[in-house]
Amino acid sequence: MLAGTKTRATQKRAAIRSGSKSNAWTIRRSDGIQILQSRALLKLPSLVHGFSTRPGGNSSLDGAKVLNLGFTDWDSRENVLANREMLLEALGASRMHLVALRQIHSDMIHVIEAAPQETLRGDAAVTQLPGLLLSVQTADCIPILLADPKRRVVAAVHAGWRGTLRRIAAKTIGRMQMIFGTQPADVIAALGPGIAGCCYEVGSEVAKAYASQFSQAREWFVGPLDRLVAEDEPNPLPWLSMAPPGHEPPAPRVHLDLFAANRAILIEAGVLPKRISVSELCTACRTDLFFSYRRKSSHTGRMMALIGLR
C-alpha cells in the first residue's frame, strides 16, 4: 500500500481530514504501473476514475522507467501517448475519449457536451456525457475528482495555490448545480496526491492573499502568518535600516496546506464532510512514487487524475 510518513504539519491537520484514512483508498496495479483509487468512487459501477503515480511506463527519467503523462521537453510525444494508452487500458477505458486541458492556473471551467476537437484552456471540466474521460495533470498541485451519482455528472479539477485562492472547486460544483441540477450534498469528492503542508513553503504574497480571502486561513498555515500579513510595504529607503552584509535575518516563510484549504472550500460549498476523501500522500516527500515540480523543477513528469462515465 502506498504510504507517506506523517510530519508534524500533517499530524496537526489530521483531525480535520476525516476522509483521509488509508482504508478510503486502494491501489490498482497493472503491467508495472500503480493507480490510486477512491473506494467511495469505486462503489459507483458506471464510473471510471484514477490517480496515476510515477513508477512504470515507457519514459525514462533519472535511470528509471516512469509513467509520464505530460508533454515535456525531456520526453518524446510517442512515449507520452503510449503512457496514456497504458493508463487507459489499465482502467478498462481504452475506448473512452480522453479530454486533457491546457492548464493555466485559473478558475476557468468547461462544460463538455461533445468530444472537443481542440485542447481547451482552463483548469476544470464537467460533463454528463458517457464515453468522455476528463483529466487534469499535476506535479504538486491538488487534483480533485467530483461525482454526482444521482444526476450522473462528473468533474475533474486542477487546484494549485492560485486556483484554490479563486475557489475553483466550489465554482465547479456551482457549475454542476447550475447546468445539471446537482445538489452539493450529493457530491462525492476525492482529493488525490499533492504537495502537503510539510513541504509547501510560501511567502508573503501567498499568505496575504489567503488571509484577505478566507476567514479560516490561519487554520491552513504553519508559521508566522500573522507577522507576514501585518508586514508593511517594503521600506522605500532600505539602507536606513540595512544590516551589515551577512547579518540580514531570513525572510519569514510559512507552510500552506492545500489539502485542508480545498476540503474546507468543498464543505463551504455544501459537500458533506463524510463524502470527501483526502489523500495524505505528499508528492514532494515521495518522489519515488510521484512527480514533484517543487523538488525536481522542470526535470520532472506529470501525473494525471481521470474521471468519466462509461
Condensed to tens digits (0 to 9), the pLDDT of residues 216-238 reads 999 999 999 998 888 755 555 55
Query: By the 8 A CB rule, do 261 and 197 touch?
Result: no
Distances (CA, A) of 76 to 62, 81, 137, 196: 15, 9, 17, 30
Does 213 fall in a domain? no
Does residue 149 lie in a domain region? Answer: yes
Q: Is residue 285 part of a domain?
A: yes
Q: Give me the CATH number covering residue 20.
A: 3.60.140.10
Number of structural domains in the chain: 1
The whole-number pLDDT of residue 228 equals 87
Supply the pLDDT for residue 243.
Answer: 61
Q: Is residue 224 part of a domain?
A: no
Residue 214 resides in a domain:
no
Cβ-contact 189, 305 below 8 angstroms:
no
The pLDDT assigned to 241 comes to: 57
In a domain, 1, yes or no: no
Evaluate if pTM is beyond 0.85: yes
Counting as low any pLDDT under 70, the low residues of the chain are 1-22, 232-251
Residue 16: predicted pLDDT: 34
Is 73:298 a contact under the CB 8 Å cutoff? yes
Is 236 domain-assigned?
A: no
DSSP H helical segments within 91-203, as ranges?
161-165, 168-180
> At a CB cut-off of 8 Å and minimum separation 6, what does 150 contact?
182, 183, 186
pLDDT number for residue 4: 39
Within a domain: 187? yes
Please name the residue that has the C-alpha cell 492548464.
103
Question: 171-181: b or e for each residue (b if 16 or more CB lie within 10 Å)?
Answer: bbbbbbbeebe
Query: What's the confidence (pLDDT) of residue 12?
Result: 41
Direct distance between the N- and C-terminal alpha carbons of the chain, in angstroms, rounded to an integer: 27
- Tell me if 144 sits within 8 A of 169, measured CB to CB: yes
- Domain range for 301 is 8-200+257-309
